[in-house]
Amino acid sequence: MSKEINRRDFLKAATVTSTVLVAGDILSSRSFAQGAIRLPETEKITITIITDNYYDALRPDYKIAKRFTPPLNAYISKTFLHAEHGLAYHVETVVHDESHNFLFDYGLDFQGVKRNVELLSIDFTKLEALGLSHDHMDHQGALVDLLKAKREVMRTGIPFYVGEQTFVGTYMKRPDGSIVSLGMKREEIESLGFVKIVEINDPTPIIPGAYLLGNIEQVTDYEKIPPVFLAKKGNDFVQETFIGEQAVILNVKGKGLVVLSGCAHRGIVNTIRQGQKMTGIEKVHAVIGGFHLIGAKPELIQRTIADFKVIAPDYIVPTHCTGFEAITAFAREMPDQFIINTVGTRYIFTT
């Protein structure tokens, strides 16, 4: 696609911005007073990016982002962090002066993720829970081997939270028309012998100070699931709905919500709104995660940004499947809130 076409598309998209802002005003007028849950306030939240699509060993700390510093001998020992088309997080909350830890998503390549876990000093003895956003290889491909490698130090019966229909199978149609499976089997997890699968569809606490959203409503008219994602109904392939896809919601004392998404296939704006509705808290402090705008048309990116401007988070950290065009658009249009993500970054939120 030429530069002229890109420019024309973005100019065309800009003409819908005023309409979108009106839609955003409607969204912002919704009442969130009757929250379904009481989300505990945290004194501190630390979200560590174990793996993601991009790594920059020279990027400095910035605002809430504490970058990973390679070891002094890194250039000799080649002990740099691994980046991939995958995503994995470690989350720590501090509530009433007590620390709590869990993992959310696990990346794709076991060897790379394992090395990152070791370089980042992620302590598996302290893990209280495991969570999965959705059953795609780039979010769970390293899971089973990672748990096997760490089983001797992990607590027996550790809960593994997943959304409904996680193990029914999920597929993608490739450009050549072939269909590839992206999922994992329930037996792979059960055979480990020390992990307890917990399927959810309602808001669910995963550790003190952190909830999984449960099923996410699709309320926007523009956040659609791409037709390349498929599920099986009987012997037929049908459109995937990602009904069980999960996101994490947290609450920084005095500052508002932190929303952590995997891919947000059901829409990143829908995900944020679900968190606001669920908690009754309208103020959003930060949004971190995949926004699934990779390959999206310029007008879709513009509509998403318009609603972000209405939501007005203090920080925006796009990761993974957000896509270059959307990432650069956020950086250009919301520069004071935007933070570029790199593997190994720790995002630290305090009161």
Residue whose structure tokens are 């947290």: 250
Query: Which residue in 49, 14, 3, 54 sits closest to 323, CA to CA?
Result: 54
How is residue 298 written in tokens? Answer: 């310029």
Q: Along the 351 residues of the chain, how does pLDDT read in single tens digits?
A: 333 334 444 334 343 333 333 344 334 434 444 578 999 999 999 999 999 999 999 999 999 999 999 888 888 887 899 999 999 999 999 999 999 999 999 999 999 999 999 999 999 999 999 999 999 999 999 999 999 999 999 999 999 999 999 999 999 999 999 999 999 999 999 999 999 999 999 999 999 999 999 999 999 999 999 999 999 999 999 999 999 999 999 999 999 999 999 999 999 999 999 999 999 999 999 999 999 999 999 999 999 999 999 999 999 999 999 999 999 999 999 999 999 999 999 999 999
**pLDDT value at position 15?**
39
Sole residue written with tokens 């929250």: 35
CA triple 314-316-318, angle to 5 deg: 170
Q: C-alpha angle 97/101/107, rounded to 5°?
A: 155
pLDDT of residue 1: 38
Tally the domains of the chain: 1
pLDDT of residue 14: 41
The boundaries of the domain holding residue 123 are 3-350
Say which residues have a Cβ less than 8 Å from residue 319's Cβ, sequence separation at least 6.
49, 52, 53, 87, 288, 289, 290, 341
Q: Indicate yes or no: pTM above 0.85.
A: yes
Chain center to CA of 55? 17
State how far the Cα of 320 lies from the Cα of 325, in Å rounded to an integer: 13
Q: What is the pLDDT of residue 305?
A: 98
Predicted local distance difference test score (pLDDT) of residue 7: 41
Distance CA 262, CA 221 (A): 21
**CATH for 214:** 3.60.15.10
> What three-state secondary structure class fits 202?
coil
